Amino acid sequence: MSVEMSKPVPRPGILDIAAYVPGKEHAPGVARVYKLSSNETPLGASPKAIEAFKAAAGNLERYPDGQALELREAIASVHGLNPANILCGNGSDELLGLLCHVYLGPGDEGIITEHGFLVYKIQIMGAGATPVVVKEKNHTVDVDAILAAVTDKTKIVFIANPGNPTGTYIPVSEIRRLQAGLPKHVVLVLDAAYAEYVRRNDYESGIEVVSSNANVVMTRTFSKAYGLAALRVGWMYAPVEIIDALNRVRGPFNMNAPAIAAGAAAIRDQSFVQEAVSFNQMWIEKLTSAFEAIGLKVTPSVANFVLIHFPETDGKRAADADEFLTSRGYILRAVRSYGFPNSLRMSVGPEEANHGVIEALGEFMGRKA
């Protein structure tokens, strides 16, 4: 007979989870605020996506297509994939959660990296399993460290490539080496949320590795380069057996109709996203060299944000810079919970905000930018 409790009690482990805290949005008392804390695009969504979203307003009484076929076909045609290997989610966050729900249980281990995205840990623990954290090297995923951490309890490995909040990446040769070193039953999750932004010849988002292996999945999002964060649109490219397993437990209408319509229109508008990527590339370079010129260290980024490291000097630490920038309306992301107590992450913003942060940090550091 089970012990009676005086109130409902969550499963063991649930109350050990530290809930996700999003980037802050407000700077009290400041007239013009720039939110540079959530890696949102400064360029908005494609006008075609906005149009499709508005058109969807005419049919709100109808359930969405539970297969999200229009969106899956649009993604498949742009990326040259089979729609049967694509599953869409209410943000890629939902897909990360479903993977844990399906492949993990109590006693299992999920490997994550030192500065990895916090959602992985939350979802591993939510499934009752144990997160195993491995070191990174120079703020970059270390394949050897991951392989050394594999035990007979390991069921899943999460890496973000590029990483958030680091902005670093590992080349496809390293991804292949990681896959080759893992037991065949371990799911390797390649979270490529920032793939659109990467301009490196040795980078591959994961499509090729998924296509040639039964245990690799790639997740992608419309929240970043496509500018649809509010709508929650993510997708996964995976072997059909994995898609089938996730389809058994997902909500039957997990994607809403405006999101399906806007997502399909957004991905068909590749010229819009290419412009966003060019704008980003220019600013990643400008921000990095400007911050280095005023004496700050910046982790080299291939994504749409930079990780800025502050001096260990009283009055010049990340917390001081955060306060200073917030008072001027520039909201960056404190990344203490990601293992960077003296750093801030800045998303590439609109031109005037980027210039503004360069100028403000120059003043903060007592140097001319």
Ligand X SMILES: *Cc1c(COP(=O)(O)O)cnc(C)c1O
Residues that bind ligand X (CB under 6 A): 39, 91-93, 117, 160, 164, 191, 193, 221, 223-224, 229, 234
Long-range CB contacts (< 8 A, 24+ apart) of 312-319? 312/342, 316/364, 316/365, 317/342, 318/342, 318/343, 318/344
d(CA 183, CA 179): 8
**Token pair in block for residue 265:** 């229109």
**Residue nearer to ligand X on the CB measure, 93 or 204:** 93
Amino acid at 50: I
Q: How far is the CB of 234 from ligand X (least distance, A)?
A: 4
What tokens appear for 48 in the block? 């075609």
Pick the closest to residue 35 from 326, 341, 365 (CA basis). 326
Rounded to whole angstroms, how far apart are CA atoms 254 and 213?
27
Nearer to ligand X, 93 or 322 (CB): 93
Nearer to ligand X by C-beta: 305 or 330? 305
Q: CA-based angle 25:190:79, to the nearest 5?
A: 95
For residue 87, give the nearest of 79, 95, 78 by alpha carbon.
Answer: 95
Considering beta carbons, is residue 234 or 349 the nearer one to ligand X? 234
**Closest CB to ligand X among residues 223, 326:** 223
* Residue at token pair 């980024």: 301
CB of 260 vs ligand X, minimal distance in Å:
15
Nearest distance from C-beta of residue 226 to ligand X, angstroms: 10
**Rounded CA gap, 33 and 99, in Å?**
37
Q: Cα–Cα distances in Å, from 352 out to 44, 59, 283, 360? A: 16, 39, 11, 12
Q: Least CB distance from residue 337 to ligand X, whole Å?
A: 14
CB of 5 to ligand X, least distance (A): 34
Q: Nearest distance from residue 51's CB to ligand X, in Å?
A: 22
- Closest to ligand X by CB, 261 or 365: 261
Residue nearest to ligand X according to CB distances in the complex: 91
Return d(Cα 56, Cα 64) in angstroms, integer.
10
For ligand X, which is the closer residue by CB, 78 or 369? 78
Strand pairing of 330-331 and 34-35? parallel
Of residues 115, 218, 121, the one with CA closest to residue 165: 115
In whole angstroms, the minimum distance from the beta carbon of 224 to ligand X comes to 6
**Beta carbon of residue 118, minimum distance to ligand X (angstroms, whole number):** 9
| 168 versus 221: smaller Cβ distance to ligand X | 221
* Full 3-state SS string of 256-295: CHHHHHHHHHHHHCHHHHHHHHHHHHHHHHHHHHHHHHCC
**Min. distance of Cβ 117 from ligand X in angstroms?**
4
Q: Is 173 exposed, middle or buried (0-12, 13-18, 19+ CB in 10 A)?
A: exposed
Task: Pick the closer one to ligand X by CB: 72 or 224.
Answer: 224
